[in-house]
Amino acid sequence: MKCPFCGCLETRVIDSRLGKEGNNIRRRRECSECERRFTTYERVEEILPMVVKKDGRREPFDRCKITAGIRRACEKRPIPIETIEKLVDGLERQLQESSEREIQAAVIGEAVMKALHALDEIAYVRFASVYRQFKDINEFMEELTDILRRQNSDLQSLK
């Protein structure tokens, strides 16, 4: 494993443990050159569907892209990284279980928005504003109005 600090290819494993969920292995490593320590995670590479973009291009599913988008939406919100990772894990699991060879990017985007809506409405609106590419303030306000309408109907059903 290449050291992220000095680039040396000689590192040794100091400690290995099963991850919290049991689906990965956490390894603590030490560089033999600079003697700095770092952590790596090993997980099974699973076959995920190709993502069909709006313009028809196809590209492999990229967990990092989804995670980065969700993290940006959740910035400065009280949402732990573990929660974001679980959300992405769940989405990835859904894709694996679907056994589809290709999936529309819109399906993934809608699944992320649904999960964020249940998690945090501010993060949901942030993600939706980028994903749906709101063209002006009116489209943004329509989305906020829908959220308020749903909240009011939820409150009414509790009474």
Partner residues linked to 30 by β-bridges:
12, 37
Listed residue (156, 151, 69) closest to 115, CA to CA: 69
The two structure tokens encoding residue 64: 């990092």
The two structure tokens encoding residue 80: 């732990």
In whole angstroms, what separates CA 96 from the centre of its chain? 15
Residue-by-residue pLDDT tens, the chain, 159 positions: 999 999 999 999 999 998 777 778 999 999 999 999 999 988 877 778 999 999 999 999 999 999 999 999 999 999 999 999 999 999 998 988 887 899 999 999 999 999 999 999 999 989 988 888 877 788 878 888 888 888 787 777 776
State whether residue 20 is helix, strand or coil.
Answer: coil
